[in-house]
Chain A
Amino acid sequence: MSTMERHIPDRLKSPLERRLKSWETLLLAVAVAIFIANSFASPYFLNAWNLSDATFNFTEKAMIAFAMALLIISGEIDLSVASIIALASTAMGAAAEAGAGTPGLILVGLATGVLCGAFNGVLVTRLGLPSIVVTIGTMSLFRGISYIVLGDQVYNNYPIDFAYFGQGYVFWVISFELVLFALLAVIYAVVLHKTNFGRAIYAIGNNPTGALFSGIRVARIKFILFMLTGLMAGIAAICLTSRLGSTRPSIGFGWELEVVTMVVLGGINILGGSGTIPGVVIAAFVMGLVTFGLGLLNVPGIVMSIVIGALLIGVIALPRLWAMWRAR
């Protein structure tokens, strides 16, 4: 419209500069600090097998956290994930009792997860109910079914080769779970940061109305994210059940909050719209290292949750305090 050409540069700050000033960098520094502190605190820390064991503290939760990160960025949440684990594990246990082989068990675990996720998704996207309410409801519902089926019984008739997912090692100290965790981290990072689908998730989380008015199929994408979260809970259920070798209705109890903690610690805005997968990956390591380090020092579990809680509040409050201090 104007004859005068106006040049607008694509970017002002380089991507590298942005990355250096990011939340992820701060979190990485915290992780390194905890690692160094741990290695001084306990002589058993810097041992390959001990470190390998430590990864089991976070791998299963982190798998769910990746999908949860996408869901939270889109402005929704799923608090039923731990109960999906219980239901999927119960379904697998029942299938094993009925004589299903390992491939059948995996299928049952994944299908249960996807169905639970789809159930949440339908309630949220079709009926327009708030996801926090829906998934608090299904949290009780899914685990409740598990309690009805199992009561005080245990399913532990799993085939021997089913143990590989939670107890197998791919190479030396590198467990199958760790490999799966790394693979999923890459896949989720690519999906969120390098695809149209990921871009749409950010758009929805920042402004669902604007995204809808821009031709984004908001309900469909949210539904997919709920299914994906259910699927990841199914995968976590397979790994956890395989690692424990048994199913009780209390399996994975309270994990939903640990998963959400991991996501928020990873720099995902709980209100939606921002955050990255690398952040969640580092947060997983931080939580795993803290739990493991305190475990080596024989700190009881309840104190660990206090430390994790304090860590979460501290890391989140730090940048805000820094900004307030600078503004003075």
Chain B
Amino acid sequence: MSSNAVARSPALAGGTDNPVLALDRITKTFPGVKALDGVSLALYPGEVTALIGENGAGKSTVVKTLTGIYQPDGGDILVDGVATRFATPQDAARAGITAIHQETVLFDELSVAENIFLGHAPRGAFGLIDWQTIERRAAEILSGIGAEIDPRHKLRDLGIANKHLVAIARALSIDARVVIMDEPTAALSHKEIQELYELVDKLKAQGKAILFISHKFDEIFRIADRYTVFRDGQFISDGKIADVSEADLVKMMVGRDVAQIFPTRDNEMGREVLDVAGMSHPTEFADIGFTLKQGEILGFYGLVGAGRSEFMQALFGITKPSAGQVKIDGTAVEIRSPADAVANGIVYVPEDRGKQGAITALPIFQNVTLPSLGRTSRNGFLQLAEEFALAREYTRRLDLRAASLDTNVGNLSGGNQQKVVIAKWLATKPKVIILDEPTKGIDIGSKAAVHEFMAELAAEGLAVIMVSSEIPEILGMSDRVIVMREGRMAAELNREDLSPETLVRHAAGI
């Protein structure tokens, strides 16, 4: 491992081979967020490069940049050392770059052969599609990767692993030189994963350059030749996988300068408010149990897809758990709908603000009072003066910035929308507030405000559950952390036992 983890350009570092595809100091900015900040990456023919980083490190943005979905704001994409622009995904495909995503984009109602050749089918006389050639070549490609699939079958009839193979066959059909695999094993069984490894080895042997994105270190060490680590949209380090250990990689992923300052918290915890036991769901999570005290902030850490949001939504009554018990203040409660949850003092600030959190086409004050209409109204009749008073009180507490209280929420920035959603719930005077990725996609300033406010709420005796994929946020805010992995509780850690390394280890199961 190179000890000087300063951003140098790997494209220029070069080995014996020259990279077939390289990113040179690529920058990509979204409103309020610098997703990629001068990152570099090089892919070599016949080698697997693992791209490693936390959630939000910029991995997906890189994939989208490489496949022509995003255009970088700065820096160069080099194909065989020549700066190139991918204006559209078709441009990237023409340069021989193809991506296989977590959820492969294929068409269930078409045949395997059609899926493989969709958009670049060989043509026969009169420009008509040459079905015989398609089926013959599809069969060739499939047998070339050792897949026993009849190209005439409908895709719908295949299992997930075989669908992946079709996606790979499709990638090969356009004579790809670079294959991007974004968490390809996420949905596969152990045996299918082994088969995928063999396939990757075959692709390597054919001289393809492979970008392999995974959270699982055992996989990375099994198939990768090189690694590149990103953190917070920045290039951290790269090198040969043989030169590093797992511990080195974990350190590179999480070892950061503490750029964010979190509020100091030193509050007394009160009595126990929430007691969850044995909560399970047929597919999403199993056997979740914990207790929560007044004034406590309980963090939920895990990788994307670990079942955290799914569990929270069951606790809030959106989805129906198959088993489990919830007690509020020591009394068992039945939560069948969000309305029941709110009535019992549990509120949920969802990750998806625009769709689940706020009703963006309605004004701020109506959003704030929506769950509190029972209190602001008289005999079911609206009292606008009371509504404005309530909305004023809570939006002021959250330091909302808006032109007026009857501005539609959709006109506000992400951070201010989040404040409206939190104000909405605080106005119901809850006992437990669940914040799902509360600072995702909002600017640094609003982030700090949300953190400060969270600490204030805990100090006032509210019990807080915070789902977060950001390690600094988990470390900075939580009194206790539950790490989830594949729908189960992998660990429950007290504040003094918290470290970035332990979190990542438990989350990834290493």
Contact = CB atoms under 8 A, between A and B. Distances in A.
A202 B361 CA distance: 10
A10 B356 contact: no
B362 A203 contact: yes
B359 A194 contact: no
B318 interface: yes
Instruction: Pick from A207, A217, A273, A274 the residue with the most CB of B within 10 Å.
Output: A207
A217 B338 CA distance: 8
B350 interface: yes
Given A8-B405, A196-B374, A215 B360 contact: no
Which range contains the number of B residues in contact with the other chain? 35 or more
A113 B369 CA distance: 34
Interface string B285-328: 00000000000000000000000000000001010000000000
B404 A9 contact: yes
B411 to A, nearest CB: 12
Interface stretch (B164-172, B218-226, B375-383, B474-482): B375-383
Contact of A199 (B355, B370, B397, B400): B370
Interface in B365-390: 365-367, 370-371, 373-374, 377, 380-382, 388
Given A207-B359, A213-B357, A215-B342, 11 more contacts: A6-B401, A8-B395, A8-B405, A12-B406, A198-B382, A203-B366, A210-B355, A210-B359, A211-B359, A211-B370, A215-B338
B196 interface: no
B398 interface: yes
Interface string A7-42: 011111000000000000000000000000000000
A47 interface: no
Interface in B114-159: none
25 contacts: A1-B399, A5-B396, A8-B396, A8-B400, A8-B403, A11-B404, A12-B406, A12-B407, A195-B377, A195-B380, A195-B381, A196-B373, A197-B380, A199-B370, A202-B362, A206-B362, A207-B355, A210-B355, A212-B337, A213-B318, A213-B348, A215-B337, A215-B342, A215-B371, A217-B337
B437 interface: no
Interface residues of A, number: 31
B212 to A, nearest CB: 35
A214 interface: yes
Given A195-B380, A215-B339, A217-B337, A1 B397 contact: yes
Top 4 A-B residue pairs of the complex, sorted by shortest distance between their CB atoms: A215-B342, A196-B373, A206-B361, A215-B371
A213 B367 CA distance: 12
B357 A215 contact: no
B371 A214 contact: yes
Contacts of B398: 1
B402 interface: yes
Contacts of B456: 1
Contacts of A273: 361
A52 interface: no
Contacts of B382: 194-196, 198-199
A305 interface: no
B449 A10 contact: no
A39 B343 CA distance: 58
B388 A217 contact: no
B355 A10 contact: no
A216 interface: yes
